[in-house]
Amino acid sequence: MNKSPLLLLLLLTSGCGIYSVKGSMAPHLKTVAIPLFDNRTAEFRVAEDLTDAVINSFTRDNSLKIADRGAADVLIEGTIIQIDDRAGAFDENESVQDMKIYLSVQIKCSDQVRREVLWQERLTHFGSYDPGGGPDARSEALVEAMEKVSEDVLNKTVANW
C-alpha cells in the first residue's frame, strides 16, 4: 500500500500553524474609509497625525483596502476626546522621573453595506517620556500613544468578524 497520498492528505488537512485574519472577516467587507478624526483638544495637528497613523496601520495590514467614504464597505470615525500629561514615576526626592501622555479617542466602526455598527468604544493609550527631554520627547511619546491607538483600531476592526 502506498502511504504517500495518505501522508499528503494528512499534511494538507492539518493546521500548519499559520494564522490569517482575512479568513475571519465577513466576505462582503473589502474596503475601509478613515476620514479625518475630529479633535476636541487644543493640540495642534493631532487629528491629522492620528488619522494618518490609523490609515498606515490598515495599509500595512492589507486586510482591507483604503477607499473613499462613499465607496467603502467599512467606515471608521474617530473623535479625539482628551490628551492628558501625568507623572508616571517619582524618585526618592519626589521629583518626577517619568511622564506619561494619555490619548483618549472615541471610535465608531460601521459596516456601510449592512448599515450597522460593528464596534464602538473609547480607547485610551499612553506614551512615556522624560520630563527633562523637552517638547521633542513629549511629541515622540504622543506618537507612541497614537501608534498604540491605531493598532488597537486595526485589531478591533479586523478581528471582530
Structure pTM?
A: 0.82
| Confidence class for position 137, pLDDT limits 50, 70, 90 | very high
| For range 2-16, the mean pLDDT | 43
Cβ-proximal residues to 160 (8 Å cutoff; 6+ apart), any chain:
109, 118, 119
Q: What Cα–Cα distance (Å) separates residue 147 from each residue in 11, 56, 143?
A: 39, 10, 6
What's the pLDDT at 91?
A: 80
Per-residue pLDDT, 9: 41
Residue range 137-142: mean pLDDT, rounded? 97
pLDDT tens for 85-134 read 999 877 877 778 899 999 999 999 999 999 999 999 999 999 999 988 98
Please check the confidence at residue 13 and state whether its pLDDT lies above 70: no
Q: pLDDT tens digit string along 24-56?
A: 678 999 999 999 999 999 999 999 999 999 999
Domain boundaries of the chain, sorted by first residue:
23-159
CATH T-level topology, domain 23-159: Rossmann fold (3.40.50)
What burial class does residue 132 get, using C-beta atoms within 10 Å of its C-beta: 0-12 exposed, 13-18 middle, 19+ buried? exposed
Contact between residue 129 and residue 137 where contact means Cβ atoms under 8 Å apart: yes
